[in-house]
Structure 1
Amino acid sequence: MSGFNDQFLYSIFIIALGYILKRSNIIKEDDGEGLSRIIFNLTLPALILVTFNDITIEYSLFMLILIAFVYGLFSAVLGILIFRNQSKNAKGMLSMMVPGFNIGLFAYPLVEGIWGREGIQHFGMFDVGNSFIVFGVCYFIGSYYAGEGARLDVKTMFIKMSKSIPLMTYIVVLILNLAGFKLPTLMIETADIISLANMPLSLLLLGIYLNFTFDKKYIKLIFKYMAVKYVVGIVVGVGLFILLPFDDMFKYTVLIGLILPTSMSVLPYAVEFNYDKRFVGTVSNITIITSFILIWIIANFVI
């Protein structure tokens, strides 16, 4: 148990460091965009490459892809129904934020520190299903209610997803693994060195983006959103944890996966569709803090 708590303590210190650096104007929040590009396009793909290159993939793990995808569709429909009486703009913004999870930036640093490569393997499979929701369903919900006239066009959705380097890395490495093809040792060793930077950089970025100020007029909507996001996630997660006939690592992945923060992709979507960026940023920060607390509770009282 001390290992779990140590990892959370290290994570808090690194996140706090990022926040302090921002508040001291040593690093500006705008610098986070460049850092996030390094993480999502370099260190995270390197970690995926190393993790999935030489593992033996159990076919039961593909159930994690299905669970993440089906739950994403379910929560998207639920969000639209719950927020149906809001204005069109608010309904699009809130419904877009309900499905989809922040796995690459938030979950990976914690999971790697607690469970190592085994945890990354499980959450990586979960993230494949999640990616279809984030880059497909969330995008089209946001676009539709913003008046962009979007429709669920499969071609457009796949073009959007093909621009995600982490998702493409997942798919390519999984295909190579299932085909029995091993990547060159030099490539894997280089990727291994790069992947070591993923955890500290991701946690620093969370601190840089952390913001504790928000307009009081958002309070009612925030509480309603948080109830939809977390009450449903906890109920479904606990239910699947009890009912699923798989090993503990599989069950913990589902339980924790369904209470992760909202996807970071909703921030650029909010900019693209002219939603309230301050509201989206505020809610994203609150979900990060909430998920962090919930995962600590699970780590101490469930695992």
Structure 2
Amino acid sequence: MSSILTRAMLFIMIIVIGYGLKKIGVFKKEDFGVVSKIVLNLTLPCAIIVNFSNLVFEKSLISMIGIGFACTVILAIAGYFLAAGSGNGEKSFNMINLAGYNIGCFTIPFAQAFLGPAGIVAICLFDSGNSIMSAGGTYAATSLVNKEHNADKIKTGAILKKLISSPPLMCYLVMLMLALSDQKLPAPILDLAGIIGGANAFLAMFMIGIGFKLDLNRTQMVKSAQIIITRYVITVIFAVVLYHALPFDIEIRKAVVLAVFSPIAAVSTAYTEKSGGDTGLSSTINSLCILISLFFVSAILVLM
């Protein structure tokens, strides 16, 4: 237990260091984009490659893709009904900022430190289902709801292009196909991926620190509380049901619980801007969810 707490505190310290260096001017908020590009295009895909390559693949784990997709859809629907009686803009905002999971940059680094290959791959498969919605699917749905802001953007091709251009999602799909066909990547590629992927945990946590932002006023506090409480009440239900209902080993079920307690997808603020929503409020909700998920994930690792 002490080693788990120590490792979790080290991750939190990396976030604090990133935030502190931004506050004293060593890094700027614009640097978040640079670090996120490195994580999403290099270190995270390489971490996925390494984790998949170390696994004796169980085909039954493919169900995790559907579970990740379903959880994200349910959260989006909950966001829509949370704004019942409000305008389409409010419904759109809730759907984007209540649904989706930041698994690649938040949960996978924790999983790398505390779970075996099977648990990590279960989280990766969950994230591949989540990514279908988080990388464009939820925004497409909100575009249909909030037509006044998005009438010119509802294009299937554009959404598909967004999904295809997501390196983590494509990496998931390629490694899944290789695993299903019992194929392995050449050793030099795996060695290179190991070196690059080894930096994923540090860079992902450091990136969260640089991007962390809280800007609360009374209105934002009320709205943030509504969305966050709704999300985590549903999350607790997901965790209890999936942990007790899934026919997998404890490591897999623990991995799924970690996945559903991930914070809101990092891209939610960008999609909020595209849909004409309040990006400041979106950033605040995202940052608060990081703090809450840090608490829950650390507690889960200690108690389970």
TM-score scaled by structure 1? 0.94
Q: Tell me how far 1:64 sits from its aligned partner.
A: 1.1
Q: Tell me how far 1:247 sits from its aligned partner.
A: 0.9
Distance 2:201 2:71 in 1: 27
Distance 1:195 1:146 in 2: 41
1:60-209 equivalences under 5 Å are: 60-144=60-144, 145=146, 147=148, 148-149=150-151, 155-209=157-211
What SS is found at the alignment partner of 2:19? helix
Aligned partner of 1:12: which letter? I
Please tell me whether residue 284 in structure 1 is matched to residue 286 in structure 2.
Answer: yes
Residue in structure 1 matched with residue 243 of structure 2 by the alignment: 241
Q: Is the 8 A contact 1:79 1:95 kept in 2?
A: yes
Aligned partner of 1:209: which letter? G
Q: Tell me how far 1:135 sits from its aligned partner.
A: 2.0
Q: Tell me how far 1:7 sits from its aligned partner.
A: 1.3
Q: Tell me how far 1:73 sits from its aligned partner.
A: 1.8
Residue in structure 2 matched with residue 262 of structure 1 by the alignment: 264
RMSD between aligned alpha carbons?
Answer: 1.8
Q: Is the 8 A contact 2:242 2:257 kept in 1?
A: yes
**Shift in CA distance, 143/267, structure 1 to aligned 2, threshold 3 Å:** same
**Shift in CA distance, 95/191, structure 1 to aligned 2, threshold 3 Å:** same
Q: Tell me how far 1:201 sits from its aligned partner.
A: 0.5
TM-score scaled by structure 2? 0.94
Q: Is the 8 A contact 1:3 1:114 kept in 2?
A: no
Name the stretch that deviates more: 22-31 or 234-243.
234-243
Q: Tell me how far 1:150 sits from its aligned partner.
A: 7.0
**Shift in CA distance, 61/152, structure 1 to aligned 2, threshold 3 Å:** farther
**Shift in CA distance, 268/151, structure 1 to aligned 2, threshold 3 Å:** closer
Q: Is the 8 A contact 1:146 1:274 kept in 2?
A: no
Q: Tell me how far 1:178 sits from its aligned partner.
A: 1.7
Q: Is the 8 A contact 1:122 1:249 kept in 2?
A: no
Structure 2, gaps ≥5 residues long: none
Q: Is the 8 A contact 2:164 2:170 kept in 1?
A: yes
Distance 1:206 1:134 in 2: 18
Aligned partner of 2:290: which letter? I
Task: Indicate the percent of aligned positions where both proteins have the same amino acid.
Answer: 28
1:212-227 equivalences under 5 Å are: 212-227=214-229
Please tell me whether residue 53 in structure 1 is matched to residue 64 in structure 2.
Answer: no
Structure 1, gaps ≥5 residues long: none
Aligned partner of 1:239: which letter? V
Q: Is the 8 A contact 2:122 2:256 kept in 1?
A: no
1:231 to 230, 233, 252: 233
What SS is found at the alignment partner of 1:129? helix
**Shift in CA distance, 247/113, structure 1 to aligned 2, threshold 3 Å:** same
Post-superposition Cα deviations, 1:116-137, rounded to whole Å, max 9, x if no partner, equal 4333212111111111121233
Distance 1:179 1:151 in 2: 38
Post-superposition Cα deviations, 1:249-282, rounded to whole Å, max 9, x if no partner, equal 1211222222211001112212323321111000
Q: Tell me how far 1:24 sits from its aligned partner.
A: 0.5
Q: Tell me how far 1:54 sits from its aligned partner.
A: 4.5
Distance 2:109 2:201 in 1: 5
**Shift in CA distance, 142/100, structure 1 to aligned 2, threshold 3 Å:** same
Q: How many residues align?
A: 302
**Shift in CA distance, 152/116, structure 1 to aligned 2, threshold 3 Å:** farther
Distance 1:32 1:168 in 2: 23
